Amino acid sequence: MGSGGSRLFGTLAQSLTSAPSAQPEPYREESPDRDVSEVDPDQLLRECEEALRRRPARPHRDLVFPNATVPYKHNPSIRVMQWNILAQALGEGRDGFVRCPLEALNWHERKYLILEEILTYRPDILCLQEVDHYYDTFQPVMAGLGYQGSFLAKPWSPCLDVEQNNGPDGCALFYRRSRFTLQSTAHLRLSAMMLPTNQVAIVQTLGCQLTGRRLCVAVTHLKARSGWERLRSAQGADLLQSLQTITSRGGGQGAAATAATPLIVCGDFNAEPSEDVYRRFSSSPLGLSSVYKLLSSDGETEPAYTTWKIRPTGESCSTLDYIWYTRSALAVDSLLNIPTEEQIGPDRLPSYHYPSDHLSLLCDVSFREEPHRLM
Tell whether pTM > 0.75: yes
Lowest mean pLDDT among 15-24, 43-52, 92-101, 301-310: 15-24
Q: What confidence score (pLDDT) does residue 96 get? A: 84
Tens digit of each residue's pLDDT (9 = 90 or more) over 52-71 = 999 999 999 999 999 655 55
Q: Say how many C-beta atoms besides its own lie within 10 A of residue 79's C-beta.
A: 19
Domains of the chain, CATH where assigned: 10-20+36-251+258-374 (3.60.10.10)
Q: What confidence score (pLDDT) does residue 2 get? A: 46
Rounded distance between C-alpha atoms, residue 2 and residue 12, angstroms: 24
Q: What confidence score (pLDDT) does residue 370 get? A: 74
Tens digit of each residue's pLDDT (9 = 90 or more) over 124-180 = 999 999 999 999 999 999 999 999 999 999 999 999 999 989 999 999 999 999 999
**DSSP string for residues in 86-123:** --HHHHHHTS--TTS-GGGG-HHHHHHHHHHHHHHH--
Tens digit of each residue's pLDDT (9 = 90 or more) over 175-232 = 999 999 999 999 999 999 899 999 999 999 999 999 999 999 999 999 999 999 999 9
